[in-house]
Amino acid sequence: MERRHFFAVSAGALGAALAAGGWSRGSGSSGGNESGDAAFSKSKAEWKKLLPEGAYRVLFEDATERSFTSPLNDEKREGTYVCAACFLPLFESATKFDSRTGWPSFYRPIDGSVETKSDYKLILRRTEYHCGRCGGHQGHVFDDGPPPTGQRWCNNGLALQFVPKEAPLPALRT
């Protein structure tokens, strides 16, 4: 009887938490800008044609690339990291650090470049962040980073492209 009561209470608490915080965007996302910029909205089919399969899965199906597989982990040059979908600049290389997690990590995004929301995919609440322009999933924010912010913006390398300082930034994709 006690075990049955425990499971009933646990299921009820989980349901209440999910209802209060919302469920994270799943594969049904169109990848449009959440601020309602219909002029930039693209369908999943359009994104799928434009992007390599791995980047598409990370950006618009919220997949996670395997740790220690991104060449961006070892990128040490000065430059800018842009969204692999729409090319919006998201991070400056000066904010990148070695988190030893196997994913490119930064202590701060470029102001206004990303948006966040609660993610309950692993039951516990996490903060997911995505490109503020196209809505492409980038990664999660954790409070275990270095000064000055104490944050770790843990990014999927497939969701980024690196642009060296001496190269021009790509035009924003339309």
Q: Is 154 known to be catalytic? A: yes
Neighbours of 126 (CB within 10 A): 15
> CA 74 to CA 129: how far, in whole Å?
22
The catalytic site residues sit at: 154
